[in-house]
């Protein structure tokens, strides 16, 4: 089941979905790219946030 994470940057709201399978986080960015991270005990939402922020900084 996918979860959502949303940030606001420069007046825009940007949302991405993420899922966790085993210890692997997959973040599905609005442009269709998928980024993955090994969690190793990290909170999934906090680990997804840098991927979304990076996307937002490059695309806003």
The pLDDT tens digits along the chain (60 residues) read 799 999 999 899 999 999 999 999 999 999 999 999 999 999 999 999 999 999 999 998
Report how far apart, in Å, the C-alpha atoms of 47 and of each of 11, 38, 56 are.
Answer: 23, 9, 15
pLDDT at 8: 96
Residue 34 and residue 27 in contact, taking contact as beta carbons nearer than 8 Å: yes
Rg (CA), the chain: 11
- How is residue 29 written in tokens? 């960015």
pLDDT at 1: 76
């Amino acid at each position: 089941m996918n979860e959502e994470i949303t940030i606001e940057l420069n007046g825009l709201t940007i949302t991405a979905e993420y899922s966790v399978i085993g210890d692997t986080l997959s973040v599905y960015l609005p442009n269709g790219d998928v980024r993955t991270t090994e969690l190793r005990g990290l909170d999934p939402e906090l680990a997804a946030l840098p991927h979304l922020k990076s996307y937002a900084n490059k695309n806003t």
